[in-house]
Structure 1
Amino acid sequence: MPRTAVTRVTHSCHLIEIGGRTFLTDPWFSTRPGYYQGEPIAIGIPDLPRLDGVLISHDHYDHCDLEAFAAYRDRSVPLFVAETVVDAARRHGFTDVTALKPWQDVEVGGVTITATPAKHGVYEVTFVLRAGADAVYFAGDTMLIPELAEIPDRLGHISVALLPTNGLYIRPADNMQVVMNADEAAELTAILRPELAVPHHYAFTKGFLGDRLITHSDKNPQSYRDATRDLAPGTSVRIVEPGIRTEL
């Protein structure tokens, strides 16, 4: 069986290889005013491999860029999504769309995909993919909430965790926090105890004015590595540039 591996595309968009299958998470392949990856898009849509499924955590544009992703060569690719994404996915021509609520699961070619809880500015789910002894947790851009502590008891050992770390705050909304920060991501890492953790969702920028007037965030993934060193010393944290394939 091929080894479990993750390739960051950009932001929270990854290619996950597990159980001989390949999945894409939270597609984001374009930009618009106020929404910039802050890092390269390492793989364009024409260069994506054949996908066995696509996971979409919620309907925010930087995680659910369906207008761009509709250019993917096979719109019959299975999409596993938060229920708020279903209608938009079908409007963009995707024909195999399955909504998953927390703790619901499906099987794709020997890989079990389980939706797990999340909390964000809009409805969101996160996901665990399992094949054999390997499991990858994809956290989208959730906050740290108590329900996430149920993951090891319900779903077993997590091998790889893909976690947001920028602690995004919305300034006009009384500095409301909508994404876990580095310390909170380290707390979750200590709960999940993966062998490998990869931070994501930290380079995002709304541009010079947007970052000063609308959002505030920590763009340094080293903050997460430092926090995890203390809270989860058994986990290897790899800060991975887009386009780099990382094997478990």
Structure 2
Amino acid sequence: MRSPLTVTRIGHACQLIEIGGLRVLTDPWFTQTATYYPGEPVASTAGSLGPVDAVVVSHEHYDHCDLAALVTAGFDLDTPLIGPGTVANIARDKGFRDIRVIESWAATSVGDLTVTATPGRHGVHEVTFVIQAFGRTVFFGGDSLRVPELDTVPARFGPVDLAILPTNGLCVRTMNLRQVVMDAEEAAGLTAVLNPTLAVPHHYAFHSGRLGDRMITRSDRDPRRYQDAVARLAPDIDVRLVLTGTPVTVP
């Protein structure tokens, strides 16, 4: 019998991944500011998460690295926090005591859980992750662009059970509309290569407020474009558009 694998999207790229009793929190974001709006209900407060075995953080942007909210909520600062060196610096300042620095293709273990950093590219330094335990494999794409090295994930790690990918193609207006996140078509192409049992899009509801959307960012907030692109490129892959707070079990 396969170990159970469940994912609950808390909001944006913040996911609670549960593999055979192990609980992994990704890219925490629980609050908002004048130019960072989740754009959807956040399904949990930082204080109501319950025990977590590890936190993985792809990069230091506030909407993926809201460590202050965890600290304020009384989160256990002995929980292993895994991410690149840029995230580690913030985690140390916040008082986290078990910080695991991993860069591309390096790995760390927490009991039966193995987390490997895989390449990423964004407006700042970013890694993506392969999360494995009890024969299950999850790919977590943070809010990276599609980079060619990610096409090697299945050959390196074997079959992927769950792929979680950003889809909004975020562009920064103040940088001549520089794209910093993969769009729906690019995410669908990577999904076809990863060939997961289940794919879940995220990082699409976020917005910068009425003024910010006109002056700072531009993005595609409709995940159905990703679902349609996957249906065209890899029709056998199951794509779920998941409301926040809804647990999804991966076969």
TM bin, normalised by shorter chain, reads: over 0.9
Name the CA distance, whole Å, in 2 between partners of 1:98 and 1:53: 10
Conservation of the 8 A alpha-carbon contact between 2:3 and 2:136: no
CA distance in 2, matches of 1:145, 1:129: 19
Deviations 1:184-225 (A, max 9, x none): 000000110001000000000000111111111000000000
1:197-216 superposed matches below 5 A = 197-216=199-218
| Amino acid paired to 1:213 | M
**Secondary structure of 1:189's aligned partner:** helix
CA contact (8 A) 2:169 2:183 kept: yes
Instruction: Report the more deviating stretch, 167-176 or 66-75.
Output: 66-75
- Determine the C-alpha separation between the residues in 2 that align with 1:64 and 1:220: 24
Aligned equivalents of 1:237, 1:18: Cα separation in 2: 20
- The DSSP-based 3-state class of the residue aligned with 2:154 is helix
2:239 counterpart (232, 237, 240): 237
For the residues of structure 2 that align with 1:167 and 1:43, how far apart are their CA atoms?
26
Q: Tell me the CA shift for residue 73 of structure 1.
A: 3.0
The equivalent of 2:219 in structure 1 is: 217
Q: Give the match for residue 196 of structure 1.
A: 198
CA shift, 1:133, in A, is 3.0
Q: Show structure 2 runs of 5+ residues with no match.
A: none
Map 1:171-186 to 2 at 5 A.
171-186=173-188
Corresponding residue to 1:131 among 111, 133, 144: 133
Q: SS of 1:9's equivalent?
A: strand
Distance 2:109 2:47 in 1: 27
1:30 aligned partner: 31
Tell whether the 8 Å contact from 2:3 to 2:134 is kept in structure 1 after alignment. no
The CA distance in 2 between the partners of 1:211 and 1:19, in whole Å, is 41
CA-CA distance at 1:69 after TM superposition: 1.5
The SS at the match of 1:36 is: coil
The residue that corresponds to 1:62 in the other structure is 63
1:19 positional shift: 3.3
**Which SS does the other structure have where 2:7 is aligned?**
strand
Indicate if the aligned counterparts of 1:105 and 1:112 stay in contact, CA closer than 8 A. yes
User: Which residue in the other structure is 1:20 paired with?
Assistant: 21
- List aligned pairs for 1:50-89, cutoff 5 A: 50-70=51-71, 71-89=73-91
Name the aligned partner's letter for residue 96 of structure 1.
D
Q: Which residue of structure 2 lines up, in the alignment, with residue 6 of structure 1? A: 7
Q: In structure 2, do the counterparts of structure 1 residues 72 and 81 end up closer, same or farther at CA, with 3 Å as the change threshold?
A: farther
Residues 1:109 and 2:134 are matched in the alignment? no
Amino acid at match of 1:62: D
Q: Could you say which residue in structure 2 is the equivalent of 1:151?
A: 153
Deviation at 1:2, TM superposition (A): 4.8
| Cα shift readout 1:132-153 (whole Å, capped 9, x = no counterpart) | 3311111000001101111111
- Matched residue pairs, number? 248
2:45 corresponds in structure 1 to 44
User: Is the 1:21–1:109 contact (alpha carbons within 8 Å) kept by the matching residues of 2?
Assistant: no
- Contact in 2 for aligned 1:19/1:110 (Cα 8 Å): no
1:142 to 123, 141, 144: 144
Separation of aligned partners in 2, 1:90 and 1:171: 32
| Letter aligned with residue 95 of structure 2 | G
For the aligned residues, what is the CA RMSD? 1.0
Change (3 A) 1:72 1:200: farther
SS at match of 1:229: helix
Q: Note the C-alpha offset of 1:61.
A: 0.3
TM-score using structure 1 length: 0.98
- Using the size of structure 2 for normalisation, the TM-score is 0.96
Which amino acid is 1:69 matched to?
Answer: L
Runs of 4+ in structure 1 off by over 4 angstroms are none
Code of the residue aligned with 1:100 in structure 2: it is I
Query: Residue 218 of structure 1: SS of its match in structure 2?
Result: coil
The percent of aligned pairs where both chains have the same amino acid is 50
